[in-house]
Structure 1
Amino acid sequence: MKPRLDLRTLFLSATTIALALSACSSQPAEEKASAGPGGAAEVVTADTAPPAIKPVDIPTRGGDGSPIELTALSEADVGGARLDGELGCSFAASAAAQPLLLAKGNVASQDPARGIVKVGDTIETVSANGGFDAMAKGTKFFGKGLQLRVALTGPAQGGGESPPRPATLTADRADGAQRVFAGLWQCGP
C-alpha cells in the first residue's frame, strides 16, 4: 500500500521552506572593500554593485536545421567594405573581440545606414533605415535572406564619448531559422 500524501503537511513544509528562504535573503549583504579614486577604500555591497551581464548565445532554431554562423570581421573585411558615413556602430561578443556587425551612417539623416556582416566565409552587405541616429538606439538591419535586430539590454559600461552597451543581436534567416548572440553595441566616431 502506498503512503498517502497529507496535503496539510505538504502545505506546512512548503510554507516553512519559503519562510526560511526569505529569512536568508534578509541578512546583510556581504561587503567587499576595494580601492576607489585616490586609493581610498570603498565598500561595495550586493546592493551597490553594478548588475552582472548574463551571457546569452541561443543556438540556431528552426529553418532547414543548418546553423546561422556569423563570424568575426577581420581588418581586411572592414577595410575592403569602404562604408560611407559620419559615425559607425559595431556589435561584438566582448570589448576585446572583433565585430560581428559593423555599420556606418550619417547623423540627422534619413538615408539608410550601410554595414557588413560575415556569414560563414562570405561578406554580406546590410542596411538599416534612419541613418546613424536610428542605429545608436538599436535597430533592424536587412540583407540578402537575413534580418539582424540589435536590442540594447543594459546601461552603458564605462564613460567617454562612446561607451559600449550590453545588447543582443538576433539573426533571422529567410527560411525561419533564428539565432541570438549576446555582446556589446558600441556607436560613435
Structure 2
Amino acid sequence: APAAPIAPGVPAAPASPDPAATVGGDGSAITLNPLSSADLQSAALQGELGCSFSTPTASPLLVAMGVVASKEPAQGVVKVMDSVERVTAPGGFDAMLKGVAFVGQGKTVTIALTGAAPVGGGESPGYPATLTYDRADGAKLVLTGLWTCGP
C-alpha cells in the first residue's frame, strides 16, 4: 500500500526500482525512519517555509525549514534508527528548492532532483529526487522519492 502523503493533496512518490541498502563503511546498516509529529515538534525547526523528503513507504524521512531570501542556514532533521539528528545547509529556504547538501555530525545528506516536472499539482507539488546519506566512515545509503517544498 502506498504511504500517506506528507500533506493533503500531495501524491505518493513513484516507486523505487531497488530496495535501499547501505554500501561501504564499517558494514553496519544506515536505517532512516519516518519522523513523527512529536519528533518534529521537539526539533523546533526555525524558518518560514519548509521542504521534506519522502519515499512511497516512509513519510517524511527528512524535514527542513528555512527563511526566504536569507543567508541564515536552513535547519533540518533526520531520524537514524531511533535518534533524531540535526542537519544544516547554507542559504535558507531558497537554497533548498533545487536540491541541497545538508551537513551534521558525522554525516552529509544530499537531496538531488532527478526530474524537472513535478509529480501532481497544487501549491507545493513534489519533485522526483534522491536522498543520499553519506556517513563519515564511508557508508552510503541512496533512497528514491519526492522532494516537496513550500508552505
Q: Same fold (TM over 0.5)?
A: yes
What secondary structure is seen at the aligned counterpart in 2 of 1:60? coil
1:125 aligns with 2:86: yes
Q: TM-score w.r.t. structure 2 length?
A: 0.86
Q: Which protein has greater RCO, CA pairs closer than 8 Å, 6+ apart?
A: 2
Residue in 2 aligned with 1:85?
47
Letter paired with 1:123: V
Residue in 2 aligned with 1:166?
128
What are structure 1's unaligned runs of at least 5 residues?
Answer: 1-51
Residue in 2 aligned with 1:116?
77
Residue from 88, 92, 98 that aligns with 1:137: 98
The alignment covers a number of residue pairs equal to: 137
Residue from 36, 59, 66 that aligns with 1:74: 36
More helix by percentage: 1
Letter paired with 1:112: P
Which has the larger Rg?
A: 1
Cα shift readout 1:141-172 (whole Å, capped 9, x = no counterpart): 00110100000111201222110111100000
Say what the alpha-carbon RMSD is for the aligned residues: 1.5
Q: TM-score w.r.t. structure 1 length?
A: 0.69
After superposition, residues 16-27 of structure 1 pair within 5 angstroms as none
Identity %: 58
What are structure 2's unaligned runs of at least 5 residues?
Answer: 1-13
Q: Which 4+ runs in 1 deviate beyond 4 A?
A: none
